[in-house]
Each structure stands twice: as structure tokens, then as C-alpha cells.
């Protein structure tokens, strides 16, 4: 039995939704920007700008997608994700809902007694609510669609030849599509094939030509997009992940002369084999953060650094978001505490209070 991926699951639900062609296009773009954890990586305004659509329409489609399974899919931060799970459990307007909705960002700073006073309830009820929060998944799609044993077959290959990076299709084991000459002979002038049979064969030959052209066009599009990515991310291919630069689909769309929706389709669910490993094409798209040296680091690189700091922390005394911001500042990365909080939540990492391990 073939396991469905998160994207298969979401696109299947999109197909059942009552939407216009334009709304489906917007929905497909939104799903293409949801990461494997289930979080939407871009805000509504960015998506609206890239698609050149009204932000109100984008928001409407996102709200529909957020009602898809799994609960919390398409959330933009930890708060949205947890609230969606609580609503699905019928806990809206409960004490645990209030703690997540109004006090999530101070839960690791206040004691149970303080939270009880703020919410006008008892410490026992607060503790019970905190236990429910601990049981929620910090990532909407956590543990549901992973298939670690699955083999990824890259669609493209990037190889360095001399000083140039060459992009080509990974199709050496695929048969070439071509039209059977026997069918062509049936419609040649002078052939005694009945007229209705000739008409039928002509229609099928035209469909076959269209399919072959469409496949060739898709191949050409993927290569052009990847060539533009390699050109923009040259430092990554030369020096590794820490040199990944900020890059948007809109930038690549401008370079190759295509619309952003086309770039999104090429990037989602398609993989490329590089000298540094196999990556999903959309891996190379991300926003940026400025450093004290005037350079731009990709958001993904900064997230990796935050994750590294947390993995190295003392579990008994976990780092607060402000402490992480201070450490990164010493390394030349200027991030506000709220930005650290946002990135931590996008990675589905809980706050210091809920990471603390005792005894």
C-alpha cells in the first residue's frame, strides 16, 4: 500500500472543496508553501503580492484550508496551531483555550499561582490546563505523514563540471515517448483506411503530440528554474548550507519570465540531486535576515542556528528567547526576541517552560 504524503492529502481535500479555478490556483500555491511540519511559511500579504491577488481572497482560501485535516494545518505560528487543535477537541472558550490564546507567550515566565490569579481560577485547574497544552502537538502534521523508509528519486541533477554547474534531467532509466509509425501509416494519402478510422487516429495522434510537447515543456521549465536557482545560490553550492541566501519565487519568476504559480508547482514535491545531497527544490526559497556585517542570511540558516542553540542548552535550565537573541547578537545576527519566538514556533519548538526537564 502506497502511503500518502501530506501534500497528497491536502491536494485531495482541495479537489473536494467547492472553489473556482482561480481559488484552486491560490489554494494550490498556499499548500505548496506549507512545510513538512504543517506550517505556512509565508504571510497572507506576501502570498497576495507574489500571486498579484487581493489579500482578502487569499485570506478566505487560507481559512478554508485551515479547516482541512490535520487540525492546525496552514497555521503560521504555534499559537494558531494549538488553538486549532483545542477547537477540534471541543475546548474552545475553556481555561486551556484562554491560556493559549491570551497568555501563551508568558506561560514560561509566570508560576502556576500567578496564572491562577490572572485567570481568576485555582492552581489545580491551571496545572490541569498546562498538562493538556503539553499533550498538544507543536507541529500540525507531526508524526502523521513521515515515510522515513521512502526513497526519493530526484527529478533533476546538478553537477559541477570544471567551474560551471550543469543542470539536467534524471531520466536515464525512463523510456522516451514517441509515436508509433504504424499509426502514422494509417492516415497517409492513398491509404485505404476508412474515413472514420482515419479521423479517430488523427485525433489520437494530436493528443499524443500534445502530451509529448507538454512533457518536454515541463522538462524545459524545470531545468530553466533550477538553472536560475543555481545562479542565484552559487555560494550555497560552493560553500554549503550556511551560505544559503534569501531568495523568493517572485525573483526566479522574474528571471525566467514565468508566473509565480508555475514556479510554485515546479518547486513543490520535486527534488534535485546536488554535490551537497538531495534537496526539495523549494528548499532554496526563503526570506532573509540582516547581520551586523551587512550581509543577508537566509531565514533557514538562522532557524538552524536557533535550533542548534536549543539542542545544546542545559535541559534543566533551558534558554529563553531573549537569551537566544543575545547569543545570536554576539555572533553578529541581529534578531529581536519576538523574531526568535516566531522562528522557534515555526519550527514547532516549545517555549523554555515546556522544554524544561527536571530530575
Phi, psi of 38 (to 5 degrees): 105, 0
The DSSP call for residue 38 is S
Residue 190 or 152, more confident: 152
Q: How confident is the model at residue 302 (pLDDT cuts 50, 70, 90)?
A: confident
Residue 21 is inside which H or E element, if any? Answer: helix 21-32
Per-residue pLDDT at 218 exceeds 80: no
Q: From CA 140, how far away is CA 144, in angstroms rounded?
A: 9
- Provide mean pLDDT across the span 159-183: 74
Residue closest to 30 by CA, chosen among 347, 226, 22: 22
Domain 288-355: give its CATH superfamily: Homeodomain-like (1.10.10.60)
Identify the pLDDT of residue 58: 93
Counting beta carbons within 10 angstroms of the beta carbon of residue 272, is it exposed (0 to 12), middle (13 to 18) or buried (19 or more)? buried
Domain boundaries, the chain: 1-150, 156-284, 288-355
Identify the pLDDT of residue 1: 38
- Provide mean pLDDT across the span 151-165: 85
308-335 pLDDT, tens per residue? Answer: 899 888 888 889 999 999 998 888 888 8
Q: From CA 289, how far away is CA 331, in angstroms rounded?
A: 13
Per-residue pLDDT at 193 exceeds 80: no
Identify the pLDDT of residue 2: 45
Identify the pLDDT of residue 225: 92
**Average pLDDT for the chain:** 83
Q: How confident is the model at residue 149 (pLDDT cuts 50, 70, 90)?
A: very low
220-252 pLDDT, tens per residue? Answer: 888 999 999 999 999 889 888 778 888 888 889
Per-residue pLDDT at 194 exceeds 80: no
Contact 72, 105 (CB under 8 A): no
Query: Any idea which of 47-61, 66-80, 194-208, 266-280 has the lowest mean pLDDT?
Result: 194-208
What 3 state SS string does 297-343 have? EEHHHHHHHHHHHHHCCECCECCCHHHHHHHHHHCCECCCHHHHHHH
Per-residue pLDDT at 177 exceeds 70: no
Per-residue pLDDT at 126 exceeds 60: yes
Amino acid at each position: 500500500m502506497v502511503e500518502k504524503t501530506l501534500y497528497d492529502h491536502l491536494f485531495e481535500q482541495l479537489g473536494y472543496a467547492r472553489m473556482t479555478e482561480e481559488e484552486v490556483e491560490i489554494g494550490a500555491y498556499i499548500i505548496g508553501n506549507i512545510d513538512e511540519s504543517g506550517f505556512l511559511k509565508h504571510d497572507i500579504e506576501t502570498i497576495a503580492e507574489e500571486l498579484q491577488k487581493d489579500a482578502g481572497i487569499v485570506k478566505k482560501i487560507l481559512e478554508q484550508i485551515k479547516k482541512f485535516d490535520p487540525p492546525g494545518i496552514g497555521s503560521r505560528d504555534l499559537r494558531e496551531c494549538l488553538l486549532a487543535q483545542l477547537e477540534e477537541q471541543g475546548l474552545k472558550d475553556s481555561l486551556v483555550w484562554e491560556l493559549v490564546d491570551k497568555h501563551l507567550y508568558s506561560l514560561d515566565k509566570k508560576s502556576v499561582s500567578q496564572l491562577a490569579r490572572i485567570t481568576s481560577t485555582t492552581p489545580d485547574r491551571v496545572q490541569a490546563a498546562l498538562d493538556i497544552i503539553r499533550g498538544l502537538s507543536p507541529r500540525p502534521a507531526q508524526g502523521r505523514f513521515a515515510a522515513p523508509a521512502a526513497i526519493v528519486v530526484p527529478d533533476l541533477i546538478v553537477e559541477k563540471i570544471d567551474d560551471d554547474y550543469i543542470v539536467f534531467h534524471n531520466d536515464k532509466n525512463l523510456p522516451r515517448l514517441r509515436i508509433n509509425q504504424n499509426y502514422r501509416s494509417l492516415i497517409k494519402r492513398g491509404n485505404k483506411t476508412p474515413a472514420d478510422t482515419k479521423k479517430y487516429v488523427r485525433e489520437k495522434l494530436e493528443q499524443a503530440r500534445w502530451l509529448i510537447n507538454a512533457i518536454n515543456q515541463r522538462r524545459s521549465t524545470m531545468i530553466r528554474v533550477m538553472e536560475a536557482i543555481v545562479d542565484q545560490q552559487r555560494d550555497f553550492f560552493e560553500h554549503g548550507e550556511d551560505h544559503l541566501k534569501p531568495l523568493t519565487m517572485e525573483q526566479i519568476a522574474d528571471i525566467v519570465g514565468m508566473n509565480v504559480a508555475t514556479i510554485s508547482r515546479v518547486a513543490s514535491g520535486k527534488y534535485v540531486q546536488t554535490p551537497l545531497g538531495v534537496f526539495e527544490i523549494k528548499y532554496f526559497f526563503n526570506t532573509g535576515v540582516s547581520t551586523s556585517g551587512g550581509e543577508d542570511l537566509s531565514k533557514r540558516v538562522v532557524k538552524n542556528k536557533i535550533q542548534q542553540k536549543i539542542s545544546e542548552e542545559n535541559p534543566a535550565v533551558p534558554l529563553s528567547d531573549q537569551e537566544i537573541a543575545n547569543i545570536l547578537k554576539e555572533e553578529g545576527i541581529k534578531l529581536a526576541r519576538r523574531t526568535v519566538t516566531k522562528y522557534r514556533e515555526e519550527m514547532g519548538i516549545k517555549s523554555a517552560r515546556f522544554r524544561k526537564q527536571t530530575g
